[in-house]
């Protein structure tokens, strides 16, 4: 399903800029409903707005947690995730403790992700785990993905889009190889064209995070970093 029509069902239509207004958020929701994107992904303060705007559309509501640095305590991430799910989020994209990954401390990563996974799954939502590939070695990427599997996450995700670098087909392939066929793999950061999205899907991605979703489905070139 990598043609232009089918690609929309892979896309989390994303607006994470701190200066985004309610009008900006509502515009993204309208676009997602029009193009039948998979979800709208926003910061937690907008979850109620998005859930209401998307009602009846079939488009999911997604919120980020511990974003974009991942450097808040695990119990705070869990609290934030629980609140977002209560507000109506169907999916949560959390950022791991990147320092733990860079220290090759899988145990700490498992604890970090498990705390959030329990909060998210109690609310019957889906957890995606952002490992921030641009800051990790291949060995560290593998450790982070293994920790996500052990902690019961539903997806691993490449990037926040806020720390330089972005998704590469090589990273997606490595993540897919590490997590196996059962978990989802989300490619985000710098996916700006249909060709980019198709390359990620060919490498093993089952979801695409992008703010250039409309350009992607139209076969045009987007300009955003995310």
- Answer whether residue 1 shows pLDDT above 50: no
Task: Look up tokens 């793999």; give the residue.
Answer: 185
Instruction: Provide the 3-class DSSP secondary structure of residue 187.
Output: strand
Instruction: Provide the 3-class DSSP secondary structure of residue 63.
Output: strand
Structure tokens at 61: 């509501």
| pTM assigned to the model | 0.96
Percentage of residues in the chain having pLDDT higher than 90? 93
For the stretch 168-189, pLDDT in tens is 999 999 999 999 999 999 999 9
**CA-wise closest residue to 93 among 155, 4, 17, 3:** 155
Q: Known catalytic residues?
A: 93, 157, 186
**CA-wise closest residue to 112 among 150, 155, 64, 158:** 150
């Amino acid at each position: 399903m990598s043609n232009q029509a089918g690609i929309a069902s892979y896309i989390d239509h994303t607006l994470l800029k701190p200066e985004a207004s309610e009008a900006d958020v509502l515009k993204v929701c309208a676009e997602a409903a029009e193009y039948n994107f998979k979800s709208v992904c926003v910061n937690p303060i907008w979850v109620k707005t998005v859930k209401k705007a998307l009602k009846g559309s079939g488009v999911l509501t997604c919120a980020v947690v511990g974003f974009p640095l991942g450097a808040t305590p695990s119990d705070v991430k869990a609290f934030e995730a629980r609140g977002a799910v209560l507000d109506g989020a169907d999916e949560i994209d959390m950022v791991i403790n990147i320092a733990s990954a860079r220290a090759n401390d899988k145990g700490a990563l498992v604890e970090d992700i498990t705390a959030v996974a329990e909060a998210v799954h109690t609310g019957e939502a889906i957890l995606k785990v952002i490992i921030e590939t641009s800051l990790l070695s291949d060995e560290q990427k593998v450790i982070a993905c293994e920790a996500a599997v052990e902690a019961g996450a539903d997806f691993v995700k490449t990037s926040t889009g806020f720390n330089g670098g972005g998704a590469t087909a090589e990273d997606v392939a490595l993540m897919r190889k590490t997590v196996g066929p059962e978990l989802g793999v989300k490619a985000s950061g710098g996916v700006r064209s249909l060709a980019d999205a198709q390359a990620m899907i060919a490498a093993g991605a089952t979801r695409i995070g992008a703010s250039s979703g409309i350009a992607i489905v139209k076969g045009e070139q987007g300009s955003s970093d995310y």
